[in-house]
Amino acid sequence: MAVETASRGPAAETGETVEGGEPSFRPSPIGWLARGIVWAAIAWLVLIFPLGREAFELQRYSEAVIFGIIGLSLNVLLGYVGQISLGHQAFVGIGAFTSAYIVTEQNLSFWVGVAAAVAVGGLQALVLGGVSLRITGLYFALVTLAYGLVAEKNIFQIQELTGGGLGQPAPKPKGFESDFRYYYLCLVFLAIVLWVDWRMMRTKSGRALLALRENPRVASTFGVNVRLLTLFAFVVSGAFAGLGGALLAHNDTRVSPETWSFNLALIFVIMTVVGGLRSRAGVVIGSAFFALIGYLLDKFTILQDGLNAIPGAPDLSPEIARLVIGPVLLLLTLTLTPGGIGQQIRPIVRWLTGHRFDLKDRGLKEVQISDVRA
């Protein structure tokens, strides 16, 4: 009995039909057409729309895509493993500096830089994962927080690595110098990350990882090596984060230590939680939203006008907007809709992948950030 529950739970969450589960459903031709149109609209928004914009806007869009990658990396830790990292900006930042260093100081190509960033990110996460096996839950969160601070105040102050106060240059790769091409490059990377994430969670280990969250004892009777799995998840998370960092570095063409502050760590956590844990689409959307808040504020001045109506409220600059809106959304998510955006869009996602449109389908289990070994 317990075995069946464990295997059905995570599988259903990843959006698969299961034998012996709900009866097979095939959409009608009109259903296919409707789904196709929506897919095409999404594709247009992501692929065609940016072509008509100006170059520096593309830099913002690339950042949104990269934030999606970072969100997915944090989702592995927070959503799949159930460990919280309040120092994730350190992983991303180290990836950024690594790639910049490789390209600028070592004069190697962008691709080597990215590979190095991925490796360093994974390695760093492996170490932290090892620590997490001994120190759990809340205390681990504290360790990650302190680690993030060490990264900001010590690691990123190493002159050779960081190029001193001016930051380290990180030029765009050959063939992708324009912001337009770089954007599509980032999209390709996002697609790769999504695919790796999806495949990983479909393997036996992946399903076991999710089972681990719900019921550790059952998982270990499967013959699942809990420690190894956890470490593996950490490495994947770190690798994705390193990749995100490298892409960010070359997007901005410069990396400075000041970027990687505690504020950023919280923004990462917020965007992942608000996006919705264990929902890939939700996390990507949530992350993109937080990356683009400043930009959206400038374009759609409704919020600004609304705020100006409040007496005594000064202008909300884009930088501050993110810091104000973020926590509010986080608190609303945690208290009212723990599944975040992912939970809300789940009916749509299910519909788009060929299932019936069911407004009440919000996932089998309540989504929570839970401590695996609380």
Partner 1 sequence: MSQRARVAILLLVVALVGTACGQKTGVAGTGGEVVAGGGGGGGGGTASGRHEPDDNDTSGVSDSEIVIGVHAPVTGASPLPQRTFDIGKDIYWQLLAANEPDALGGRRVRVVFRDDEFNPNRAVEVCREMVESEGAFILVGGGGADQITACAEYAAENGVPYFSAGVNEAGLEEASTYFALSLTYAQQAPLIAQRIKDEGFEKVGVAVADTPSFQDGHDAFVDAAEEAGLDIVADDTINKTASEAEALAEVQKLKDADAEVVFILTSPLVYLGIAGGARNQNYDPVFIGPGITSGLNQVLTFGCPGVAKGRFFSPFPELDVIDELDPDYVAAYEQFGQGEPADDIGLALWGLNKTIRLMFEATGDELGRAALMNTIEGGEVFDSGVFAPVEFSDGERFGGTAAHLLKADCDTKLYSTEEQFVQAEG
Partner 2 sequence: MDRLRERQGQVITAAVITLLVLVLLATGEKESLVIGVITGSAYGFLALGLVLIYKSSGVFNFAQGEFGTVAVYTLYLLHFDVPYGFALLGALGVAVLMGVVVERLVVRPLFDAPRVTLLVATAGVALLSIAVQIWFGEATARPVGRALPTLDRFTVLGVQISDQRLLLLGALAILAGLLAWFFNKTNLGLAILGSSQEPTATELMGISVKRLSTIVWALAALLGGLAGVLAVPETGGFAPGVLTVAFLIPAFTAAVLGGMTSLPGAFLGGVIVGVVEAVATSAPIFEDIPGSPGTLLVFVVLLIVLVARPQGLLGKAG
Site residues, partner 2 (CB under 8 A): 84, 86, 131, 134-135, 137-139, 141-143, 145-147, 149-150, 153-159, 262-263, 266, 269-270, 273, 313-314, 316, 320, 323-324, 326-328, 330-331, 334-335, 368-371, 374
CB of 178 to partner 1, least distance (A): 6
Q: Return the structure tokens found at 197.
A: 């994430």
CB of 55 to partner 1, least distance (A): 5
349 binds partner 1 (CB under 8 A): no
SS3 254: strand
Q: Which of 236, 224, 317, 244 is nearest to 96 (CA)?
A: 244
Residues contacting partner 1: total by CB under 8 A:
41
Distance of alpha carbon 109 from alpha carbon 111, whole angstroms: 5
Non-local (6+) Cβ contacts of 169 within 8 A are 100, 104, 163, 253, 254
Site pattern 306..345 for partner 1 (x: CB under 8 A)? -----------x-xx-------------------------
- Given partner 1, partner 2, none, residue 167, with its beta carbon under 5 to 8 Å by kind, binds partner 1
Among 106, 195, 221, 358, binds partner 1 (CB under 8 A): 195
Q: Which of 60, 33, 130 is nearest to 295 (CA)?
A: 60
At 169, which helix (H) or strand (E)?
Answer: strand 168-169
With contacts defined by CB under 8 A, name the span among 85-93, 118-126, 229-237, 253-261 that binds partner 1.
253-261
Residue 204: Cβ within 10 Å count:
10
Distance of alpha carbon 226 from alpha carbon 219, whole angstroms: 8
Total residues belonging to the chain: 374
- Amino acid code (one letter) for 195: W
Q: How far, in Å, are 44, 46, 48, 274 from residue 38 at the CA level?
A: 10, 12, 15, 24
User: What's the DSSP call for residue 255?
Assistant: E
55 binds partner 1 (CB under 8 A): yes
- Given partner 1, partner 2, none, residue 221, with its beta carbon under 5 to 8 Å by kind, binds none
- Amino acid code (one letter) for 369: I
CB of 134 to partner 1, least distance (A): 30
5 binds partner 1 (CB under 8 A): no
Q: Which CB, 61 or 234, lies closer to partner 2?
A: 234
Site for partner 1 in 20-49 (CB under 8 A): 39, 43, 47-48
- Given partner 1, partner 2, none, residue 373, with its beta carbon under 5 to 8 Å by kind, binds none
184 binds partner 1 (CB under 8 A): yes
SS3 122: helix
- Given partner 2, partner 1, none, residue 164, with its beta carbon under 5 to 8 Å by kind, binds partner 1
